[in-house]
Amino acid sequence: MGVQEQYPFDVEAVRADFPILDRKVGGDPESPGEGPGDDTPLVYLDSAATSHTPDPVVDAIADYYRSYNANVHRGIHQLSQEASVAYEEAHDTVADFIGASGREEIVFTKNTTEAMNLVAYAWGLEELGPGDNVVLSQMEHHASLVTWQQIGKRTGADVRFIEVTDEGRLDMEHAAECIDDDTQMVSVVHVSNTLGTINPIAELADLAHDHDAYVFADGAQSVPTRPVDVEDLGVDFLAFSGHKMCGPTGIGALYGREEILESMQPYLYGGDMIRRVSFEDSTWEDLPWKFEAGTPSIAQGIAFAAAIEYIEEIGMENVRAHEDLLAEYAYDELDALGGVEIYGPPGDDRGGLVAFNVEGVHAHDLSSILNDYGVAIRAGDHCTQPLHDELGVAASARASFYLYNTTEEVDALVDAVGEARDLFA
Ligand SMILES: Cc1ncc(COP(=O)(O)O)c(C=O)c1O
């Protein structure tokens, strides 16, 4: 059976929902490096940075602005009520999607980064102090690493990093050494955006809970690409971004266990998050609104729910199977090319992305040449500078896949990488 015949769903039918995939880009492969053009079919392999948005989600945004644009929670009039119901129900959709018990546990944020800062400021600044520690891993995205590092500096708490093995996995023996009775928070990325490693979050949660520490999973790369259930993972917090899962930018979610969110002070103060205000003092709205001060991203929140409905229609098990198939195929083909160093675990045990370097070619040059072939990948440190230091490289190229990508697109990537390697040989 050919690789394409193993697709778990009709990928061509899905692609039809993404008109942007029909775009032409790139330059002239005959004279690489001479700048942008518009004659090459787009091969978009950068969904780990941001995914594309299907027509039903674009329609949900347009429908809001065309039919019921109004502020939420503030008006008695019909438009405001319609907008409020749709925005509030979007929280229910997100809660169901990740197995949370209800909307009380889902705070809409701008993105994963803001969700992490919310917990770091509202919980970390209050609760952490000298003698405490927060445990991260060496493969954290800057969204988590920089946030906890700076909160550590402000509170005097120690920040520890679980080491990564040569194969790109978490060293679980080291994890057990790092997590002790002074640990207050274990914050680890679920699927690494650089190594593709799928981390054993449930195991870490058990370790953390044995020491009465909280667990925060960074789900930016996992929630869009595989079934994620907060109960199964045993996490206390989970963060993810709408724009990496067919939704718009400007919206993300923080899941927090209700009793912990209840016990936390607000992160932002202002309208919408209060119940009663006097000149002397204020009281707070119920969850999750206590954490959603000011006018929220209403259209984006509603469209976030539409995006979840879209990917649920395909089925998260199917999305995962498709990601697995493309990741393994890309890994094997790039590996077979020669002169390519791939980072992270083997192809049959990783999330849907492959970061690599080509011998003698800087990742930025590679990306620029690939652009001439219409192939969009990411080049740089992918917001994991310390991990790149550990790998001994300043930058890498990263191809990442989503539900609309095909094996033909992986072939286009591999062909273009081969051309680039030969050009610099
Ligand atoms: C693992 C991981 N964590 C956090 C983030 C930050 O996401 P956002 O920029 O949407 O806040 C990203 C984005 O690339 C990511 O890959």
Residue spans of the domains in the chain: they are 4-51+316-424, 57-313
Residue nearest to atom 14 of ligand 1 (CA): 49
pLDDT of residue 1: 56
pLDDT of residue 84: 97
The residues annotated with a catalytic role in the active site are: 383
Asked if residue 138 has its Cβ within 6 Å of ligand 1, the reply is: no
Q: Could you give the CA distance from residue 256 to residue 265 in angstroms, rounded to a whole number?
A: 13
Written as six digits, the tokens of 108 are 């809409």
Assigned superfamily of 4-51+316-424: Aspartate Aminotransferase, domain 1 (3.90.1150.10)
**Contacts by residues 31-40 (CB-CB < 8 Å, ≥ 24 positions apart):** 32/368, 32/369, 32/372, 32/419, 32/420, 32/423, 33/368, 33/369, 33/372, 34/372, 36/371, 37/372, 40/372, 40/373, 40/374
Cite the beta strand spans of 70-170 per DSSP E: 106-109, 133-137, 158-162
Q: Could you give the CA distance from residue 96 to residue 99 in angstroms, rounded to a whole number?
A: 5
Matching fold, domains 4-51+316-424 and 57-313: no
Domain 57-313, what fold?
A: Aspartate Aminotransferase; domain 2 (3.40.640)
Asked if residue 257 has its Cβ within 6 Å of ligand 1, the reply is: no
**Cα(340) to centroid of ligand 1, in Å?**
26
Q: Find all residues with CB under 8 Å of 117, minimum gap 6, and list them.
A: 147, 267
Q: Write out the chain's pLDDT in tens, 425 residues.
A: 567 668 999 999 999 999 999 999 976 656 655 555 667 899 999 999 999 999 999 999 999 999 999 999 877 899 999 999 999 999 999 999 999 999 999 999 999 999 999 999 999 999 999 999 999 999 999 999 999 999 999 999 999 999 999 999 999 999 999 999 999 999 999 999 999 999 999 999 999 999 999 999 999 999 999 999 999 999 999 999 999 999 999 999 999 999 999 999 999 999 999 999 999 999 999 999 999 999 999 999 999 999 999 999 999 999 999 999 999 999 999 999 999 999 999 989 999 999 999 999 999 999 999 999 999 999 999 999 999 999 999 999 999 999 999 999 999 999 999 999 999 88
Q: Could you give the CA distance from residue 152 to residue 154 in angstroms, rounded to a whole number?
A: 5
**Contacts by residues 214-217 (CB-CB < 8 Å, ≥ 24 positions apart):** 214/123, 214/184, 214/185, 214/186, 214/260, 215/185, 215/186, 215/187, 215/188, 216/116, 216/119, 216/144, 216/185, 216/186, 216/187, 216/188, 217/187, 217/188, 217/189, 217/190
Asked if residue 194 has its Cβ within 6 Å of ligand 1, the reply is: no
Tell me the pairing of strands 274-277 and 252-256: unpaired
Residue nearest to atom 15 of ligand 1 (CA): 220
pLDDT of residue 268: 97
Amino acid (one-letter) located at 244 = K
pLDDT of residue 425: 81
Q: What number does the ligand 1 atom closest to the CA of 113 have?
A: 11
**Contacts by residues 21-30 (CB-CB < 8 Å, ≥ 24 positions apart):** 21/52, 21/404, 24/374, 25/371, 25/374, 25/376, 26/371, 26/372, 26/373, 26/374, 26/375, 27/371, 27/372, 28/372, 29/372, 29/373, 29/416, 29/419
Query: Checking phi first, is residue 208 left (phi over 0); if not, alpha (psi -120 to 50) or beta?
Result: alpha
**Cα(424) to centroid of ligand 1, in Å?**
32
Residue of 240, 162, 231 whose CA lies nearest to 199 = 162
